[in-house]
Amino acid sequence: MSSEHSGVETLPGALKARLPEGKVLAPGAAAEASLPHVTICTVTLNREKVIKEALRSMLSQMYPKDKVSVIIVDGGSSDGTMETCRSMLQGTGLARYEIIVQKSTIP
């Protein structure tokens, strides 16, 4: 019986590859509880449009948001990068997010 007819779903892509052969996860809290917590880190400097697309992509993933933490290290952007990050990450249900501003000394 295929998984779409049995009411049991398997994980997509890379997550599926980490499961033992033939193991399937039932939808719901029990399945999500077995997933690892992941942290996504990125650095940025004056890349408002790029970080917006990166965050939009990350937030659109099917992985449970309460299992995801995001760390953004900004080099002292002056183009609205940090405001974009804050507004996009607030209220998303992420386990946590942190924005660290460390002025860049790179010219």
What tens digit of pLDDT does each residue of 41-89 get? 999 999 999 999 999 999 999 999 999 999 999 999 999 999 999 999 9
Token pair recorded at residue 56: 């939009």
Residue 58 three-state SS: helix
Higher pLDDT, 10 or 94: 94
Whether residue 32 is predicted with pLDDT greater than 80 in this model: the reply is no
Instruction: Identify whether the C-beta of residue 9 lies closer than 8 Å to the C-beta of residue 24.
Output: yes
Q: Cα separation of 79 and 95, whole Å? A: 27
CA distance 46 to 5: 48
Count of alpha carbons within 13 angstroms of residue 26, beta-carbon side: 4
Q: Using one digit for the tens of pLDDT, what is the confidence trace for 6-24?
A: 444 444 554 554 555 666 6
